[in-house]
Structure 1
Amino acid sequence: MIVDVKYGKDGVQKIEIPEKNYIGTYSPNDVVCGDPDQVINESLDAPIGGAPIDEFLKGGKDIVFIVNDGTRPTPTAKVLDALSERMGLRIARYLIATGTHRGPTEEEYRNIFGSHLEELRDRIVVHDAKQSECVNLGTSKNGTPMEVNKIAVDADRLVIITSVEPHYFAGWTGGRKSFLPGVASYATVEANHRMAVGMDAQALKLEGNPVHEDMMDALEVVKGKKIFSIQIVMDRHQNIYKVASGELNPAFDQAVKWGEEVFVVPVPEKADVVISVAPYPMDVDLYQSQKALDNGKWALKEGGTIIMVSKCREGVGHDGFLKLLSTSTDPKVVIENIKKGYKLGYHKAAKMAEIATWANIWAVTDLDDAIIKSANMTPKKSVAEALKDALDANPDARVMVLADGSVTIPRPKEE
């Protein structure tokens, strides 16, 4: 079987997998998408719990929209198009939920707000986790200080526009993530993400996930505040599939069910070798490409080999993350080192080290071999070389390809 493996923006590496070894190539599920404007408006007209948004906004004196930053695929501009037919957009302020990311570039501003940017530019506030004034609303059950941007705390109406897709340690994006990490202080985000170091913080997992539960605690401290959410599920091509509007948690629960229809992909068996691709633009660096590893592990047998394919166009992406991975050739020691002195960003190193405790990690990238080796991975020059080496070691190995490993969650039949 000849399989085309994407590499970089336009590159392709062809590999030949013997039929006896080949399980299949998998991507997020294809779903039928309707007219996006109709999907949005029908959701706004029939919210899950509570009143339609027109009624929700009545009497609001300080209306604040919380919107995602440029790192998320959320089609905020399309939602604003629909809302502009129902309200004057300037009655609200727009708080960009950056978490600990940088503020948007001009191009990202245009992507977020679309044709409404100039009209709203003076109504936009960018959350800065280190600089924005935050209000301490107490402490979570896990000891996280709940410090949230004062603009969100003071608002008498909050509207959240977000998207919902699997997240490698929070379970899913969307819903409560608009508060934590979205508009929380750096100290709050760091304390929350510290709990990502552990096997209970995984993609799709909500119940018993300490990161998710901590985020839900963040919502408890603003209980009673009027919140209307617009939560969007995209298909694999970034088209709008479904929209869940209304009360934050019930809408999130519904969006998760729709998200499973797109991103949770049944596979017939676990593989001895998983080729997991971080396609453009998710191949920006090693730090972001980790998601392809984390998703690919769900289809891998214990003791198997996962081959991460990512150009890593801009290098490593986070020096601290690489330094942590380099502290020992024993991944168990790396995990212990992270627990001793956690800093924000170390959770990615922990997730990679967790996989290395039970599987082999190989990498096909443009990075220097020394960098890959220091991260406790084995560098390979091409996907073909990696596959040959894997089959030389185990001629009967069963091989699976995840063509878009960054957003595909394989679910083996036995599970």
Structure 2
Amino acid sequence: MEVSLAYGKNGLNVIVPEHTRIVAPNHLELPEDDHELVLQALRNPKGTKPLREMVKSTDRVVIVISDITRPTPNHKLVPWLLEELTHVPIENVTIINGLGTHRDQTREEFIEMLGETIVNTVRIINHHCHEKSELTHLGKSSFGCEVYLNKEYVEADFRIVTGFIEPHFFAGFSGGPKGIMPGIAGIETILTFHNAKMIGHPLATWGVLDKNPLQEMTREVNTFCKPDFLLNVALNGEREITNVFTGELVEAHAIGCAFVKEHAMIKCEKRFDVVITTNAGYPLDQNLYQAVKGMNAAHKIVKQGGTIICAAECIEGMPDHGNFVKILQMRQSPKDLLEMINDPSFHMFDQWEAQRLAMIQEWADVYLYSLLPEESVRTAMLTPSQNIEQTLDDLKAKYGDEMSIAVLPLGPLTIPYVEE
């Protein structure tokens, strides 16, 4: 049968055996008018007054958004927020692009993310986690690090954080407090959040909030300078809004996580020999660093010693910025890489993604179908796939003609699990 995989902007169709298990999110009816749905949520939030009543006309307002590697519909959410804040002069509003450790966005990318009208009328800044002059020190976390957040965020009179909620491969769920921590945190704070002990914790995984150390830390850091209002959405595979969650940070986020868990986490009865996955297409599959999430989703249901085939376009490369490639080149095997990263003396930003990739590779073989040169794929200790159907055919030599196969067409937008 033919299956359509989310790959780049245009998708990828592959032929798989009839007995293949397709694992996709539960279908949700879309709201008739997502604009009205968001406005009503802004006017009827959980745990706070309506947004318009909370903001004074003299307030300096910041709106924190997620960067271009996330499919948050900022081009809708930001204009609709400003619609509720017409009493605030536009020169009083600043949009902060929550990059974490990622690269700056260009003007053209901001237009893609927000629309030209917003880019031409509202002040927008990229967050820089390494620039101490752009950060404010707020104290010390119980997790052992100093807490730094974006200075303009801290000094604002009213703080709004936006985002979308999906299962997250080590924080449990995205959205909520993650928009602030690590979105607009300083590098020292981010490194602790992503250190080897945190990333390797058994409860630092998809769909887990309770006692997940990363979720506990992101919530704690938010208490140092809490956003006044949350606007999060849930999305389907076509990036359409299926629900809206607004109001007090923790309460509204928890409601959103419960909704997403019900619709995006799918139980499987057994593990599979082969799991084909994606990273949900553009913008999530822009580079290999991000594609580790899709591989991690497949890891949840592939047999030990099985095979993961990941289709991720990687139009931006590995990427070229950051330390991901440098870390991968430091050792010759996933086992040795994990040993290096787990050494308490080792600290390098981007180590968390290399750590998770190595953990997956220690469990299963991983093939990658992408635009990356074969040399780059092998640098990451992955096996290139030039044709997914041919790779499947080749794997019959290992698993037999009746090898069990599952497909995650939307990658980490669906999180399968097996109760073991």
TM over 0.5: yes
> Is 2:53 the counterpart of 1:55?
yes
Q: 2:309 touches 2:369 (CA, 8 Å); kept in 1?
A: yes
Matched position secondary structure for 1:276: strand
Change in Cα spacing, 1:26 to 1:156, as seen in structure 2 (3 Å) is same
- Report the RMSD for the aligned CA atoms in angstroms: 2.5
1:316 shift after superposition: 2.3
Amino acid at match of 2:26: N
Gaps of 5+ in 2: none
Q: 2:63 touches 2:93 (CA, 8 Å); kept in 1?
A: yes
Change in Cα spacing, 1:73 to 1:285, as seen in structure 2 (3 Å) is closer
Amino acid at match of 2:50: P
| Structure 1: distance between partners of 2:248 and 2:50 | 10
Q: Deviations over 1:153-189 (max 9, x none)?
A: 2223212222212222222221111221121112222
The aligned residue for residue 408 of structure 1 is 414
> Is 2:139 the counterpart of 1:138?
yes
Matched position secondary structure for 1:146: strand
| Structure 2: distance between partners of 1:367 and 1:102 | 20
1:238 shift after superposition: 0.8
Q: 2:163 touches 2:176 (CA, 8 Å); kept in 1?
A: yes
Q: Deviations over 1:181-240 (max 9, x none)?
A: 121112222222225531432222222322222111202223xx5611111111111111
| 1:84-103 matched pairs, under 5 angstroms | 84-88=82-86, 89=88, 90=90, 91-103=92-104
| Structure 1: distance between partners of 2:194 and 2:292 | 16
Aligned residues: 408
Match of 2:315 among 313, 336, 340: 313
Q: 2:137 touches 2:148 (CA, 8 Å); kept in 1?
A: yes
Q: 2:5 touches 2:410 (CA, 8 Å); kept in 1?
A: no
Change in Cα spacing, 1:74 to 1:367, as seen in structure 2 (3 Å) is closer
Match of 1:73 among 64, 71, 74: 71
Q: 2:323 touches 2:349 (CA, 8 Å); kept in 1?
A: no
| Structure 2: distance between partners of 1:29 and 1:148 | 37
Change in Cα spacing, 1:148 to 1:9, as seen in structure 2 (3 Å) is closer
Moved more, 196-205 or 380-389: 196-205
| Structure 2: distance between partners of 1:135 and 1:66 | 16
Change in Cα spacing, 1:38 to 1:375, as seen in structure 2 (3 Å) is same
TM-score normalized by the length of structure 2: 0.88
The aligned residue for residue 375 of structure 1 is 380
Amino acid at match of 1:107: E
Q: 2:280 touches 2:294 (CA, 8 Å); kept in 1?
A: no
| Structure 2: distance between partners of 1:112 and 1:380 | 32
Matched position secondary structure for 1:357: helix
The aligned residue for residue 30 of structure 1 is 27
The aligned residue for residue 297 of structure 2 is 295
1:288 shift after superposition: 2.2
Change in Cα spacing, 1:135 to 1:296, as seen in structure 2 (3 Å) is same
| Structure 2: distance between partners of 1:75 and 1:5 | 21
| Structure 1: distance between partners of 2:82 and 2:370 | 45
Moved more, 349-358 or 65-74: 65-74
The aligned residue for residue 45 of structure 1 is 43
The aligned residue for residue 159 of structure 1 is 160
Amino acid at match of 1:81: P
| Structure 2: distance between partners of 1:244 and 1:7 | 28
| Structure 2: distance between partners of 1:307 and 1:126 | 34
Match of 1:348 among 349, 353, 357: 353
| Structure 2: distance between partners of 1:368 and 1:113 | 32
Gaps of 5+ in 1: none
> Is 2:213 the counterpart of 1:210?
yes
Change in Cα spacing, 1:410 to 1:60, as seen in structure 2 (3 Å) is farther
| Structure 2: distance between partners of 1:101 and 1:315 | 14
Moved more, 181-190 or 39-48: 181-190
Moved more, 239-248 or 389-398: 389-398
> Is 2:364 the counterpart of 1:359?
yes
1:60 shift after superposition: 5.7
Amino acid at match of 1:402: L
Amino acid at match of 2:78: L
Change in Cα spacing, 1:133 to 1:199, as seen in structure 2 (3 Å) is same
Q: 1:197 touches 1:339 (CA, 8 Å); kept in 2?
A: no
| Structure 1: distance between partners of 2:120 and 2:385 | 51
Q: 2:161 touches 2:227 (CA, 8 Å); kept in 1?
A: no
1:307 shift after superposition: 1.5
Amino acid at match of 2:397: D
Amino acid at match of 2:20: I
1:290 shift after superposition: 1.6
| Structure 1: distance between partners of 2:78 and 2:263 | 24
Q: Which runs of 4+ in 1 moved over 6 A?
A: none
The aligned residue for residue 14 of structure 2 is 14
The aligned residue for residue 285 of structure 1 is 287
The aligned residue for residue 107 of structure 1 is 108
Matched position secondary structure for 2:195: helix
